Structure 1
């Protein structure tokens, strides 16, 4: 289908947490479609493909909820939410190339469909477009927050890459990694929404840390689901992290809590990658309580996120943010 004949950009089916910002969310969808416009058809084709692939759009949702929770009445939050989604999408395109992934959210990845070079370059386009929109928002403070976030995210991705195949990665290093590669953009989304709305210093800090803890909770559950999730619901295969040799918290805790023989097998599985030892590793992470431990840490992060919301005025927007924190640990995909 030619790029100029692409159907309207649509997000995943709306959920109750989206309802309070439904009109804003629709405006974000329209802005995404408009900002994907390019004189190069392949840019629009790949951009539409990855953005329409069924994501929850949680990061732009955080911008909208944070701004509205502080009674923001302008319309720049729509632009801000859109550019945050473009930043996220660009990282997905790049990550799938780095990880040599073939499946995301149940669909072929862009690199699988079009190849690595177009995926990387369209990721660059989306990233660059996000900075164009950032200038349009016109806030130096927001530019400072988001430009710093992009550096932290890139560092987190590199740190994750250096951890691959390393069974000596400890829990501290793991949390540093997921803080950079995942939680940072959640944090930047809610933080920048607060700045846009003219938050007090206390409110700004609350929304910054809310996003951070929410992002950590989401990543912890993602890593948990890799060992007990449903492949059809997740849109990826159980054991993908193990296949890539990623030492996530379930494996780190299994090595710490297991017998020497169990730890030795998990170490070997991380070093070698692949799925040869998947069944044995699945049994070990269950027997050692590593999955329960990972869930407990996720619940701890979600509880911290909820604590931050107590500094905000009561509203339907704050309630939706609270529900989002609870959803982070209750989801199955």
Structure 2
């Protein structure tokens, strides 16, 4: 919502305004506990002498939406999630006041709010905003536009994280169908959809289907990117993990060793992703009953993590616990 006070001087007294306040060439004073739930937007001649709670984002006119979007996207790490949400909520509020509700730019704001809530772990809110994005995009772009595939993909990822695997598969297959229709069948984005479906089927326990999709993804990556590209690593890791869960340990080791070799070559011996590959090999050897080999790889993983993450990181405690128990 937007609150409008038409006066050269406005006095707030113990007030909470649920929305945005645009201050245009005026003075604002305040007493007591004054709070704006979204944003205060003053023009340059305005004077704000009211103390609002510190988390309220203040933006000057004229508003540079593209710069604010960039700032929001740059805030997508765990320590700045609330700041990113505030920025994206403000941008949405501004767009809803200046554009019609079904403008494609409004859909973009819903998408980024969905993305931020997903990263924050608030999956139901993420779905709510992703669905709003999808509804507008379907209305403005049509059923088979490539951006619709992105919306379906985002919903599929959230439902996978929530453990609602059938819903996730439904959305990922819708995304894949559009990509196969609009892009080349060996497009790297198609590989991403195959990878996503592989992940869902793995989580669902349908390992043969997971392998089928991960192999399709790997085939495209090898063809389009080459065998030495770092993005091939994720496919090797995924296949290694699924084969480990299937109990086919030697094949799992083969894939994880391919991943490790590529990472060592491209990233160097002390990269955190190398620690992940050492850990994956430790898991396979542990499952295989070769505990000395498992501990060897766990210790290599631990050494890198201690160097990169520090001794107080949660991954260190977990790694030490694994080594201690074996």
TM-score (norm 2): 0.31
Between structure 1 and structure 2, the one with the greater Rg is: 2
TM-score (norm 1): 0.31
Higher relative contact order structure (alpha carbons within 8 Å, sequence separation ≥ 6): 1
